[in-house]
Structure 1
Amino acid sequence: MKPLHAILWACLLLAGFSSSAQNFGNITGKVTLVDGQPYASASVSIVQLKRSTLTDEQGDYTFKNVMPGNYTIRIQVLGMAQKDIMVKVSAKDTVVVNYQLERENVQALQEVTVAGNTNRFTQKESVYIARLPLKNLENPQVYNSVPKELFQEQMAVDLGSIAKNVPGAGIPMIANQGRVTFRSRGFDTEPNARNGVAGAAFSFIDPANLERIEAIKGPSATLFGNSIASSYGGLYNRVTKKPYNGFGGEVGYTAGSWNLNRLTVDVNTPINADRTALFRLNGATTWEHSFQDLGFTNSVSVAPSFSYQINDRLSLLLDVEFGQAKGTSVVRLNPYVAVPTGQTEVIRSIADIGFPYNKTFLSNDLTYRTQMMNIFGQINYKISEEWTSQTIVSRARSSINGDITALNGRTETTIRPNVIVGYTQFIATDIQQNFIGDFKIAGHRNRIVAGLDYYNNWNDFDRVTVNLPDVDFINTPSTYRVSQFKVDSLTSRGTLRKEYNRDNTYSAYVSDVFNVTERLSAMMSIRINRFQYKGVYNISTGVTSGGLSGAGVQTGPYAQTSWSPKFGLVYEVYKDHVSLFGNYMNGFFNKSGIKKDGSPFEAEYADQLEFGAKADIFDHKLVGTISYYDIKVKNILRPDPSDPVNYQIQDGSQLSRGVEVELTANPLAGLNIVAGYAYNDSKVTDASDIRNNGLRPGQSGPPTTVNFWVSYRFPMGKLKGFGAGLGGNYGDMSYYTNTYNSKFIIPEYKIFDASLFYDNEKFRIGFKVDNLTSEKAWSVRLTPQAPARFTGNLTLKF
Structure 2
Amino acid sequence: MKVSKILSTTLALLMLATTYAQENKGRIAGKVLTSDNSPAAFINVLIKSTKIGTMTDESGAYSIKNISYGNYTLEFSLMGMETKTVDIEVNAPEVKINDIILNENQEQLSEVIVIAERLNQFAHKESEYVARVPLKNINNPQSYSVVTNALLKEQINTDLPSAFKSITGGGYVESNDGNVSVYLRGFRSDVHLRNGGIAWIKAPIDPQNIERIELVKGPASLFYGANVNNVANFGGIVNKVTKQAYSGKKLDIGYITGRWDQNRATIDYNTVLDKEDQVYFRFNGAYNTENSFQDQGIKREFMLAPSLTLKLSDRLTIQGNLEYNQSKRNLNFARGLSSNLISDSVNSWDDLNWDFDTNYGTNEMAGYFSSVVSQIKIDYKLTHSWTAKTTFTKANSFTDANYLRVVMLDETNVGRYYLQLDPRETDNTHIQQDFLNVIEGEKIDNKFVAGLSYLNNLDDTQRTGVWNAIDAVDITNPVITGLTNEQFEANIADETKNKTITKFQTLGFYVFDAITLNKELTFTGGLRFDRFMSDNTISNGAEGSNGYNQNALSTKLGLAYNPFDDKASLFVNYMDGLSNNAPSDNGNGEIITWDAERAKQFEVGSKLNFFNGKLLSTISYYNIRIDNDIIVDENGISSQTGETLSKGFEIDLIANPLPGLNIVAGFSKNNATLEKVSSGREDLIGNSLSYTPETVWDFWLSYQALKGKVKGLGFGVGANHMSEIYNSTTNNFGSDAYTTVDATAFYKKGKYKVSLKVDNLLDKEYYNGYGIPQKPFNFRVGLFYSVF
TM-score by length of 2: 0.84
Shift of 1:478: 2.2
Q: Where do residues 624-643 of structure 1 align in structure 2 (5 Å cutoff)?
A: 624-639=617-632, 641-643=634-636
Please state whether the residue corresponding to 2:687 is helix, strand or coil.
coil
- The one-letter amino acid paired with 2:721 is Y
1:794 matched residue in structure 2: 783
1:52-94 Cα offsets, whole Å, 9 max, x none, are xxxxxx999xxxxxxxxxxxx999xxxx99532587xxxxxxx
Post-superposition offset of 1:737: 2.4
Of residues 306, 313, 316, the one that matches 1:314 is: 316
**Normalising by structure 1, what TM-score?**
0.83
Residues 270 and 86 from structure 1, CA distance in 2 versus in 1: closer, same or farther, beyond 3 angstroms?
Answer: closer
Partner of 2:223: 223
Alignment of 1:344-493 (within 5 A): 348-421=347-420, 422-439=422-439, 444-464=444-464, 465-469=466-470, 471-472=472-473, 474-484=475-485, 486-492=487-493
**Structure-2 separation of matches of 1:529 and 1:474:** 53
* C-alpha distance after superposition, 1:369-416 (max 9, x if no partner): 111101110111111111000111001111111212212343454343
Counterpart of 1:530 in 2: which secondary structure?
strand
* Aligned-pair CA distance for 1:513: 0.2
Alignment of 1:654-665 (within 5 A): 654-665=644-655
Query: Which runs of structure 2 are paired with 1:508-587 in the superposition (5 Å)?
Result: 508-540=509-541, 542-546=542-546, 557-587=547-577
Q: Which ranges of structure 1 fall in alignment gaps of 5 or more residues?
A: 1-25, 46-57, 61-72, 88-94, 99-112, 547-556
Shift of residue 287, structure 1, vs aligned partner: 0.5
User: What is the distance in 2 between the residues matched to 1:320 and 1:349?
Assistant: 43
How big is each residue's C-alpha offset from its partner over 1:483-538, in whole Å with a ceiling of 9 and x where there is no partner? 43552243246564312111111100000001234200100011110001012111
Determine what percentage of the aligned residue pairs are the same residue.
32
Alignment check: 8 A CA contact 1:43 1:309 kept: no
List per-residue Cα deviations over 1:423-472 (Å, max 9, x = no partner): 11111111111000012699532101100111110110111135225625
Aligned ranges 1:100-499 → 2 under 5 Å = 116=117, 118-175=119-176, 177-226=177-226, 227-228=228-229, 229-330=231-332, 332-338=334-340, 348-421=347-420, 422-439=422-439, 444-464=444-464, 465-469=466-470, 471-472=472-473, 474-484=475-485, 486-492=487-493, 496-499=497-500
- C-alpha contact 1:299 1:326 (8 A) present in aligned 2: yes
Residue 168 (structure 1) shift: 3.8
Q: Check the 8 A contact 1:356/1:473 in 2, yes or no.
A: no
Change (3 A) 1:658 1:518: same
Partner of 1:733: 724
Paired with 2:446 and 2:669, the residues of 1 have a C-alpha distance of 35
Q: CA deviation at 1:179?
A: 1.9
- The answer to whether the 8 A contact 1:74-1:83 is kept is no
Partner of 2:10: none
- Alpha-carbon RMSD across the aligned residues, in angstroms, is 2.8
State the partner residue of 2:742: 753
Aligned to 2:45, which of 32, 35, 42?
32
SS at match of 1:311: coil
Query: In 1, Cα distance between the equivalents of 2:92 and 2:371?
Result: 40
**How far did 1:312 drift?**
1.5
CA distance in 2, matches of 1:349, 1:424: 33
Summarize deviations over 1:103-149 as a string: whole Å, max 9, x none. Answer: xxxxxxxxxx9965711110001111001111111111111101111
Larger Rg: 1
Change (3 A) 1:161 1:442: closer
Conserved 8 A contact 1:318-1:377? yes
Conservation of the 8 A alpha-carbon contact between 1:254 and 1:792: yes
Opposite residue 311 of structure 2, the aligned amino acid is Q
Q: Which amino acid aligns with 2:642?
A: G
The residue that corresponds to 1:705 in the other structure is 696
- The alignment status of 1:677 with 2:667, answered yes or no, reads yes
Alpha-carbon distance in structure 1 between the residues aligned to 2:117 and 2:347: 53
Which letter does structure 2 place at the counterpart of 1:321? E
Rounded to whole Å, the distance in 2 between the matches of 1:96 and 1:692 is 67
CA distance in 2, matches of 1:279, 1:502: 36
CA distance in 2, matches of 1:42, 1:128: 23
Residue 508 of structure 2 aligns with an amino acid whose one-letter code is S
CA contact (8 A) 2:414 2:475 kept: no
Against the structure 1 CA distance between its residues 265 and 616, is the aligned structure 2 distance closer, same or farther, given a 3 Å change threshold? Answer: same
Tell me if 1:785 matches 2:774.
yes
Which position in structure 1 is the counterpart of 2:94? Answer: 83
Deviation digits for residues 217-245 of structure 1 (CA, Å, limit 9, x no counterpart): 11111122234421111111000111121
431 and 115 in structure 1: CA distance in 2 versus 1, 3 angstrom threshold: farther
Q: 1:715 aligns with which of 706, 716, 729?
A: 706
3-state SS of 1:161 partner: helix
Say whether 1:687 aligns with 2:677. yes
Report if aligned partners of 2:345, 2:351 keep a CA contact under 8 Å in 1. no
DSSP 3-state at the match of 2:363: coil
Cα distance in 1, alignment partners of residues 385 and 119 from structure 2: 33
* C-alpha displacement of 1:420: 2.2
- Contact 1:337 1:744 survives alignment (8 Å): no
CA contact (8 A) 1:499 1:537 kept: yes
2:587 pairs with 1:588: no
Shift of 1:575: 1.8
CA distance in 1, matches of 2:479, 2:660: 55
Matched position secondary structure for 1:268: strand
Q: Deviations along 1:167-214, whole A, 9 cap, x unmatched?
A: 244352332x31221221112121111101212221111111111001
Task: Supply the distance in 1 between the matched residues of 2:60 and 2:750 (Cα, whole angstroms).
Answer: 25
Structure-2 separation of matches of 1:219 and 1:473:
47
1:298 aligns to what SS in structure 2? strand
Contact 2:642–2:676 (8 Å) recurs in 1: yes
Q: In the aligned structure 2, how far is the partner of 1:125 from the partner of 1:573?
A: 20
What CA distance in whole angstroms lies between the structure 1 residues aligned with 2:622 and 2:480? 53
- For residues 649-696 of structure 1, give each alpha carbon's deviation from its aligned partner in whole angstroms, at most 9, with x where no partner exists: 432221111011100111111111111101001110112211210111
| Cα separation, 1, equivalents of 2:502 and 2:760 | 42
One-letter code aligned to 2:564: Y
CA distance in 2, matches of 1:697, 1:332: 16
Report the counterpart of residue 12 of structure 1 in structure 2.
none
Task: Measure the CA separation in 1 of the matches of 2:551 and 2:691.
Answer: 30
Letter matched to residue 370 of structure 1:
F
Contact 1:31/1:42 (8 A) holds in 2 = no
Whole-angstrom distance in 1 between the partners of 2:224 and 2:300:
33
2:152 counterpart SS class: helix
Task: Decide whether the 8 Å contact of 1:81 with 1:385 is kept in 2.
Answer: no
Amino acid across the alignment from 1:38: T
- Return closer, same or farther for 1:560/1:74 CA change in 2, 3 Å cut-off: farther
Residue 610 of structure 1 is aligned with which of 603, 614, 617? 603
